[in-house]
A = this chain, B = another copy of it.
Amino acid sequence: MFEDEIEKYTALQISKEGRSKIELVVAKEFHFTIFLNGAEFVTLLCSSQNLEYLTAGFLESESLIKSKDDVKNMMVDPRLGVAHIEIQGNRKVDGNFYPRRLIASGCGGGAIFYNLDDANTRKIESTMKISADVIFALVNEFQHGSQLYLVTHGIHSAALADRKSILIFSEDIGRHNAVDKLFGKCLLEGESTGDKIIISSGRISSEILYKVAKRGIPILISISVPTSLGLKAADELGITLIGNVKGKKMNVYTHDWRVS
């Protein structure tokens, strides 16, 4: 029914019972580029079903079309991840900045998330290790840190930690903003990041890995779950990705040699 929307993945699960390999199902993250009247318009991070609907709905939300009559023709190629749509009025869209942006799970980086043209993004070589007990302790401290979440239930949080405790805590209605605020503080105050750990309350899609890799951080812990491209990015960028931490149980998705 939805084989195209999921991927199976084998992760290391650590719990009170010990370490074991488990098979998981993750949501597939898809990169979809819309060409509008012949010009590249936008790249969305999305699920790969119903791409015609997504194309039409996105353009309507952007006030570029109002009805089906405004669509002269549309061709979607799910294999290549592209749509070509022609709309009435031959509207020219200046794509000088906009198309280089990924939109959806919160607006990420380049058209390929771990943009190798970007000299700041490199594979993480750090040999830093962390114990499972430290991870449980950091997540416990993290979950008690957000006063704002406790009163509103409408906030994301992120934290920079070392292997003893949380150093910087950040909150925002957007999960990307929470992470950017952390890194902005590090940049302005000269705090090093390459020897640290990031903790996030949010889902892990590829854009977050791109941000974390740019700062040379070897370990990312999430309370939530990753998407398929989040896993792929963590693997290729050399980042240890830990997710779904609940009580005394966690999944280590990539580079599990860093978790002792």
**How many copies are assembled?**
2
Whether B148 pairs with A63 at a CB distance below 8 angstroms is no
8 A Cβ contacts from A58-73 to B: 58, 60-63, 65-68, 71
**Beyond A27-B154, A184-B53, is A174–B67 a contact (Cβ under 8 Å)?**
no
Tell me, in angstroms, the Cα distance from A50 to B188 when the chains sit together.
12
Establish whether residues A60 and B171, one from each chain, have CB atoms under 8 Å apart when the complex forms. no
| Known contacts A2-B147, A154-B224; is-contact A50 B174 (Cβ 8 Å) | no
A203 within 8 A of B: yes
Task: Of the listed stretches A40-48, A127-135, A232-240, name the one at the interface; the rest are far from the partner chain.
Answer: A40-48
Which one, B52, B66, B148, contacts A27 given CB within 8 A?
Answer: B148
- The interface centre, meaning the residue of A105, A173, A180, A226 with most chain B CB atoms within 10 A of its CB, is A173
Interface residues on A, range: 35 or more
Query: Which one, A12-20, A90-98, A136-144, A252-260, is touching chain B?
Result: A90-98
Which residues of chain B are within 8 angstroms of A183 by Cβ–Cβ distance?
A: 56-57, 60-61
* Interface residue A21 (Cβ < 8 Å from any Cβ of B): no
- Does more than half of chain A's interface fall in helix, strand or loop, or is it mixed? mixed
A16 CA / B214 CA spacing, docked (Å): 51
| A49 proximity list for chain B (CB < 8 A) | 171-172
Contact pattern, A 1-44, Cβ under 8 Å of B = 1, otherwise 0: 11001100000000000000000011101000000000000001
Whether a CB of chain B sits under 8 angstroms from the CB of A200 is: no
Q: How far is the CA of A193 from the CA of B211 in the complex (A)?
A: 39
Given known contacts A105-B106, A171-B47, A187 and B97 CB-to-CB distance under 8 angstroms: no
* Cβ-based interface call for A89 (8 A): no
Supply 24 A–B pairs (Cβ within 8 Å), ascending by A: A2-B147, A27-B152, A46-B177, A49-B171, A50-B170, A50-B184, A50-B185, A53-B170, A54-B184, A56-B183, A56-B187, A57-B179, A61-B176, A61-B180, A63-B109, A63-B118, A94-B94, A94-B97, A96-B96, A104-B173, A105-B173, A152-B225, A154-B227, A173-B227
Given contacts A6-B151, A56-B185, A94-B96, 18 further A-B contacts (CB under 8 A): A5-B171, A6-B148, A25-B151, A27-B173, A49-B171, A53-B184, A54-B184, A56-B187, A57-B183, A60-B183, A61-B180, A61-B183, A63-B120, A65-B187, A67-B187, A106-B174, A154-B224, A173-B205
Q: Which residues of A contact B (CB under 8 A)?
A: 1-2, 5-6, 25-27, 29, 44-47, 49-50, 52-58, 60-63, 65-68, 71, 93-98, 101, 103-107, 109, 118, 120, 147-148, 151-155, 170-174, 176-177, 179-185, 187-188, 190, 203, 205, 211, 214, 224-227, 244
